[in-house]
């Protein structure tokens, strides 16, 4: 059953947590440890945790001697192939002291669009959780194409939360909460709570940001939060640095209240991304 407020995260049955590339790659690679410690704490309480982690391309870049995110698809795929391996190793090493085993799950947009693949993905995830494995999900960047992909892992996390019937979705980013306008601008105010159906048209969340390591931004988080909350899943958007507070149900971040009468939401059609 979905949570009606963020306080319920402390006793949630099943939670999907998403972390972005910029929070766990480059000079922030050491942040994997505290994120894992927070996940392990929730796991020890009995919560079933699924981690959706970006960062394969960003993690692979130094091994390919790249200073910035590659623009061509083939190099992105090569960086992802190298980086995914390293990324999972880092997570597993951080999980080892807690005697938690990670299970890698790589998905493409087609996997959640095709009913058979979707059913297979759900069955595999359910079995992993039943075995107390911590699934780590990412888009399968090595085989994904520019034309058909999720577009960003915030959307992937929302779809995974729907797929497994999560109680809540936690989207971790670089800022403590969403703001009414870019936080550096005068008059920007933090948004504490968004009731289902609230009109956010007056707020300025900006467009998708493409930086040196990944893609994302406030707009993608709002879109993903809307997708999950429409399906009856409460969503918390906050900083990766506040992951302990978030999973303990503390009063942090921006909470999107779930739809009180959710209907089946298709939400699995791939995003078609324009190629420059």
Q: Which two tokens stand for residue 135?
A: 């699934």
Q: Which two tokens stand for residue 75?
A: 């190099």
18 is in an annotated binding site: yes
Angle between helical axes of 153-164 and 115-130 (0-180°, round to 10):
70
Q: Which two tokens stand for residue 221?
A: 């988080």
Nearest-angstrom CA–CA distance, 256 and 117: 29
85 is in an annotated binding site: no
DSSP state of 187: T
Q: Are 115 and 91 in contact (CB under 8 A)?
A: no
Q: Within a 13 Å sphere around the CA of 252, how many CA atoms are in the beta-carbon half?
A: 22
- Edge-first strand order for the sheet with 134-139 is 102-107, 134-139, 48-53, 14-19, 168-173, 234-239, 254-256, 193-194
31 is in an annotated binding site: no
**Computed from CA positions of residues 54, 33, 254, 136, in that sequence, does the dihedral angle turn out positive or negative?**
positive
221 is in an annotated binding site: no
Nearest-angstrom CA–CA distance, 73 and 64: 14
Helix (H, G, I), strand (E, B) or coil at 248: coil
173 is in an annotated binding site: yes
DSSP state of 218: H
| Spatial CB neighbours of 91, under 8 Å, sequence gap ≥ 6 | 32, 36, 51, 53, 102, 136
Q: Are 4 and 63 in contact (CB under 8 A)?
A: no
174 is in an annotated binding site: yes
DSSP state of 51: E
**Binding site residues for substrate, as ranges?**
54, 141, 153
**Binding site residues for ATP, as ranges?**
18, 173-174
**Binding site residues, as ranges?**
18, 54, 141, 153, 173-174
């Amino acid at each position: 059953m979905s949570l009606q407020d963020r306080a319920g995260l402390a006793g949630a049955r099943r939670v999907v947590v998403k972390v972005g590339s910029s929070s766990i790659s480059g000079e922030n690679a050491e942040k994997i440890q505290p994120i894992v410690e927070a996940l392990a704490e929730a796991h020890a309480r009995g919560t079933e945790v699924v981690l959706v982690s970006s960062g394969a391309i960003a993690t692979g870049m130094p091994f390919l001697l790249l200073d910035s995110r590659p623009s061509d698809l083939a190099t992105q795929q090569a960086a992802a192939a190298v980086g995914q391996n390293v990324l999972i190793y880092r997570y597993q090493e951080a999980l080892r002291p807690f005697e938690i085993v990670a299970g890698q799950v790589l998905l493409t947009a087609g996997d959640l669009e095709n009913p058979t693949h979707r059913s297979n993905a759900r069955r595999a995830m359910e079995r992993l959780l039943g075995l107390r494995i911590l699934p780590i999900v990412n888009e399968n960047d090595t085989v994904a194409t520019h034309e058909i992909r999720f577009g960003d892992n915030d959307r992937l996390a929302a779809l995974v939360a729907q797929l497994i019937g999560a109680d809540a979705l936690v989207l971790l980013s670089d800022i403590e909460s969403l703001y009414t306008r870019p936080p550096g601008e005068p008059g920007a105010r933090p948004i504490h709570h968004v009731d289902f159906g609230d009109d956010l048209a007056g707020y300025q969340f900006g467009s998708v940001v493409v930086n040196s390591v990944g893609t994302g931004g406030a707009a993608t988080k709002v879109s993903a939060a809307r997708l999950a909350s429409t399906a009856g899943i409460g969503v918390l958007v906050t900083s990766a640095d506040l992951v302990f507070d978030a999973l303990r149900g503390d009063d942090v971040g921006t909470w999107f209240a779930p739809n009180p009468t959710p209907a089946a939401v298709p939400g699995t059609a791939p995003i078609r991304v324009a190629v420059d």
